[in-house]
Structure formats: structure tokens, C-alpha cells
Amino acid sequence: MTLIKDPDDTAPPTARQRRAARLSEAAGGGWGLVLFKIIVLGLILALAVYAALVLVRTGQWIPAVIVALVAALAVWIYLGRGKLPAKYLMPGLIFLFVFQVFAALYTGYVAFTNYGTGHNADKDSAVNALMLSAQERVPDSPAYDLTIVEQLGELSFLVTDPDGDVRLGGEERPLQEVDGAEMEGGKAVALSGYTTLAFGDIVAQQERIAEMSVPISDDPNDGALRTPDGSSAYVYLSKLVYDEASGTMTDTRTGVEYRDIGTGAFTADDGTELKPGWQIVVGFDNFVRAFAEESIRAPFLSVLVWTFVFAFLSVFTCFALGLFLAIVFNDPRMKSKKYYRVLMILPYAFPGFLSALVWAGMMNQEFGFLNVVLFGGADIPWLTNEWLAKFSIILVNLWLGFPYMFLICTGALQSIPDDVQEAARVDGASAWQVFRSIKLPLLLVAVAPLLISSFAFNFNNFSLIYMLTGGGPRDITAGVNVGATDILITMVYKVAFVGSTSDYGLASAFSIIIFILVATISVIAFRRTKALEDLN
């Protein structure tokens, strides 16, 4: 049997075939792609090595090992052949862990600590800060010849003591003897690997240098060196004496002894604490404070109730107005519907925070548009009266939210078959009966998940509250920074970041409570939605 060769097999490839071959070769990995991968992986490895070194330097060995392992895994996946699913999944998984899982886990950890103002670091850092805050210059102390040197942006003291010994130290590095310093007139003026600051550089950084305090030894009771002029250093001793063995801090000026009683601060017998303290695990204390401490519980419960009311009214009013307008503009008798629909969605086209700022200006009590123009110069406290401020928030949120509900209700109404409605009318049903028994149930099946998500969004609608009222008017009787229009998320932000003191532990506890509430409401609501779908 003789095989007949297809003449098309010997035909030269077409332009489309050549283009397909080039695309296939590029997708398979040409030298350009390999070079690109090497460069990108090199940058990632450099960043990973830097991050690991920083973590090791701060004593965080486990995170450093995790960073190194992830970097090695990335190299193995992207430089090897195959493993195509892993190449697509790994970036997403890394970002998911860093920005979602890690953030959630760290928030949960902080909720069980006393992390906040006065408790930001570990115990050693707190001891050093306390000792430095009580330093005084030792009278008639000998002067140390000083040269300011710099390495990688960090300043150090290169000192020559009265005995001629040369030592080097920094703010968190006690003085250590060094060899090979360049001497001039019995004074060390330079050291290999460091840059000596000239007089002009010292003057430019005079404030920073004057604030430096270099420990003389590892024992904080030995004092530290400080300089007023950048050329000579003097011994400063603290009026606080730290006894590491007994865990006490004694004030030599008053004789009062402060002890470490496990609260994250040195505490005297009368309850007085030395600040700063240090970060410790306090268990469920932050949750207990939220519900048991009267100055926190009362405003917290008030904010909780207002948050539910605000979220419910926001969803209800926006849905009601959006549904009403959708029904009106869905009527076939309405002329020029497309132009009206464009006007209806205009508020949705502008960023919410900008609209809130505009409304805040319009509602200004003294020169706002509403008072000056619409109400003839009336002095209406839209944003400073508790109840008017709440009404203003609902009104502005209605302005911002109804276009969204209008859009989804319009789409849902247009998807309802006309023959079902027509059959109901033939059976004698009124327009209200058709709406209540046919349109609304079918509509809720489509929009119920969106209503749930809208409730969750408004439950955490930070931008509107903060831009419009800032959470005010302020409740001066509360033990936390909270106002009459604050919802839970704005209260958390204020507790953590606003004011002279910050309580990250309590704010994280509030965050966990918010998560539990929103998750519980969403689960219940979605179950009800599923039941509605089954019934339908």
C-alpha cells in the first residue's frame, strides 16, 4: 500500500502559523523570559535576605526562618520546569497570608496584650527608657574626648577616656574597646569603616547628637555618656537604680521602690506606676474591660446599638428609595427613562468620602448652604447636635446609597417574566397584590445577598462617619475617645490612633467583637436567604 503525501505538508508556513509558533515559543520560555525571571527572583531574594537579617538582628528567629524558606520555595518553583499551578498560586497565597491571615492573627494576638501608649516595647527597652529619662550629669565628672562617626546612617561616639583607652558605642550599643583608631594629639579622630563627621555636619545634626545617650556598659546603673557640643562627652547617671535580680526600680531622690508585679510596669506600694512600661500578655482583660468597666461598657453598648440602627436604616432607606425609583422608571408609560436613569446614578459616580466632605460643608452650622440658603440663615446644628447629627448621617448615606439599590432593583425587575405578572392581573390581582406576592419575593431572591453585603458594608462604613461628623459630638463622660455618631469601626480607630494615648489591645479586642458580630449576622442572613430560595 502506497501512502500519498499531502502536498500541503510541504507548503511554507503562513504568517499566522509563524506568529503562533513565536507565541508558543515565548510561552514555553525563551531566553528573555528566563532572564526576566532571574532578575525578578534576584530582587526578591535580596529583599528576603535583608528582611531575614533584620529579623535575626531583633531576635525574631522563627519569622526569619519562615522568610528564608518561602524565598527558597519561590526559587525552586519558578526556576524549575513544570509546577505550573504553583507558579500561579504562590503570589496569591503569599499576599493572602501577609495581608489577610497574618493581619488577622496579629490583631488577635494584640487583643490579648496590653500593647498601647506606655507599653510599646519589651522590658529591657522600658528599663533603658526609664533610666535615660532620669539622667543627670555627674558633678565634676571627667571629660571624654569625643569624635562623632557615622556608619550606614547611624551615629556613634568614638571616645577617648582620661586613661587613653579608645571605645566606640551608640544609643543602644554600650561602649566597647576598639583597635586601630587614628589618633591625633592623644585623641581618636577616625576609625576604619566609619565616616568622621565634620564640624558643619555636627552643627546640622546638633539636636540629634545632643539627644544621644550612649551606655557606658551593659549595666544601666553605670550611666551613659552625653555631649553638649559634639567634641566632649560627660558621664550622666540616672536617679533611678535598677536591680535586675529582684526586679525593682528605686528612685534615689525619694527612696520609693517600684516593683514588677506582673502588670507590665514598675509599680509602687500605693499603685503609682513608672511609665513607660512594657508589653505583656494579659489574657482576656481587654474583653473584660469592654464589658465590665463602666466608663467603657456604657459608651461601647451605646455605640453598638447605634451601629446596628445605622446599618439597618441605611440598608432599608436606600433599598426602599431605590426600589421605588426602579418601579417608577420601569413603567413602560414613563418617557425619556434613560435620561432620568443617568441622573439617578450621578451620586454613585463620585467617591463617597468626597461627597461626605461636600455635605459636611453644606451642613456647616454657620455658613453651610442648607442653613444660609435653604433655611434663610437659620442656626441649625446639623452636625453638632446628637440627634440631628445621626439624622444627617442617614440622610447623606441615603444620597450616596440609593443609586446602587436603584441599579440592582432595576435589573432584578426587568428579569421577572412579564407573563407571570400578566397571569396575575388576569386572575384579578391588583397592582399592590402583584407587587407584594410576585415581584417582591422574586426580587428578594435576587437582591437578598446584596442586601446582606450592604448591611456588612454599612456596619463598617468608616469613611462616611469620619468624614461627615468625625464621630462627634464627643461624649466627655466616656472612658474612651467616642462620640454620639461613632460606629464600632470609628470607635476602634479612635481608641487605637486618635488622642494623646493609644490602646491597641483594647482596639483589637473591639475588632474581634466586630468580626464575630458581622460573621454571625451574615451566617444567619444567608441561611434565611437559602430558605427563601428553596421556598421560591
Q: In what order do the strands lie in the sheet with 248-251?
A: 240-243, 248-251, 257-260, 266-267
Instruction: Report the 10 Å Cβ neighbour count for 168.
Output: 21
Total domains in the fold of the chain? 3
Cell 503609682, located at residue: 272
Peptide bond into 276 cis (omega under 30): yes
Tell me what the mean pLDDT of segment 508-527 comes to: 88
> What is the pLDDT confidence band of residue 23, given thresholds at 50, 70 and 90?
low
Those residues whose C-beta lies under 8 Å from the C-beta of residue 156, and which sit 6 or more positions away, are: 148, 149, 150, 168, 169, 170, 173, 194, 214
N- to C-terminal Cα separation, the chain: 67
Q: Are residues 133 and 89 in the same domain?
A: no
Which CATH number is 480's domain given? 1.10.3720.10
**What pLDDT, on a 0 to 100 scale, did the predictor assign at position 522?**
83
Ramachandran sector of residue 326 (left: φ over 0; alpha: ψ -120 to 50; beta: rest): alpha
Higher-scoring residue by pLDDT: 36, 361: 361
User: Helix-strand-coil percent breakdown of the chain, rounded to 5?
Assistant: 55, 15, 30
Q: Are 231 and 180 found together in one domain?
A: yes
What distance in Å separates the CA atoms of residue 286 and residue 109, rounded to the nearest whole number? 12
- Split at pLDDT 50, 70, 90, the class of 481 is confident
Main-chain dihedrals φ then ψ at residue 12, nearest 5 degrees: -65, 150
The predicted-structure confidence for 192-220, as pLDDT tens digits, reads as follows: 999 999 999 999 999 999 989 999 998 88
Does residue 286 lie in a domain region? no
183: β partners: 188
Residue that has been written with the C-alpha cell 427613562 in this structure: 337
Average pLDDT over all residues of the chain: 87
Confidence of residue 357 (pLDDT cuts 50, 70, 90): very high
| Residues 155 and 226 sit within 8 Å (Cβ to Cβ) | no
Check whether residue 65 and residue 187 sit in a common domain.
Answer: no
Q: Answer yes or no: do 79 and 150 share one domain.
A: no
Give yes or no: residues 503 and 418 share one domain.
yes
Last residue of a domain, one of 110, 132, 154: 110
Residue 523 domain-assigned (yes or no): yes
- Is the pLDDT at 13 greater than 80, yes or no? no
Q: What is the mean pLDDT of residues 438-446?
A: 86
Any domain includes 335: yes
Q: Which amino acid is at 36?
A: F
Residues 474 and 89: beta-carbon distance below 8 Å: no
Q: Answer yes or no: is 115 within a domain.
A: no
Report the range of poorest mean pLDDT among 28-32, 64-68, 247-251, 415-419: 28-32
The identity of residue 71, as a single letter, is A
In terms of domains, do 349 and 488 share one? yes
Q: Is 41 domain-assigned? A: yes
pLDDT computed for residue 534 by the predictor: 57
Count of residues in the chain = 536
Same domain? For 224 and 319 the reply is: no
Amino acid code (one letter) for 210:
A
Do 385 and 466 belong together in one domain?
Answer: yes
pLDDT at residue 10 above 70? no
Please report whether residue 400 resides in a domain.
yes
What's the confidence (pLDDT) of residue 1? Answer: 46
Q: What CATH number corresponds to the domain at position 145?
A: 2.40.430.10
In 191-229 the beta strands, taken as DSSP E runs, fall at 195-196, 214-215, 224-226
CA atoms lying within 13 Å on the CB side of residue 416: 25
- Tell me which of 83, 110, 137 is where a domain ends: 110
pLDDT, one tens digit per residue, over 138-180 is 888 889 999 999 998 899 999 998 888 999 999 888 999 999 8
Residue 343 CA to residue 70 CA, distance in Å, equals: 52
pLDDT of 36 reads: 80
Grid cell in block for residue 12: 511554507
In a domain, 13, yes or no: no
Q: Are residues 144 and 98 in the same domain?
A: no
Strand pairing category for 182-184 and 166-170: unpaired
| DSSP single-letter state for residue 141 | P
Q: Which residue, 51, 79, 110, sits at the end of a domain? A: 110
Residues 168 and 99 grouped into a single domain: no
Closest Cα to residue 421, out of 412, 430, 410, 409?
A: 430
pTM recorded for the entire structure: 0.78
Assess whether 315 and 436 both reside in one domain: yes
Nearest to 324 by CA among 437, 439, 430: 439
From 172-181, 433-442, 488-497, 525-534, the region with the lowest mean pLDDT: 525-534
**Percent of the chain at pLDDT above 90?**
46
242 and 335 co-located in one domain: no
Q: What is the CATH number of the domain that holds 99?
A: 1.20.58.370
Q: Per the domain annotation, does 117 fall within a domain?
A: no
Structure confidence by residue, pLDDT tens digits, 288-302: 999 998 889 999 999
User: Whole domain around residue 70: which residue ranges?
Assistant: 34-110
Render pLDDT for 327-348 as a digit per residue (tens, 0 to 9). Answer: 888 887 777 777 878 888 888 8
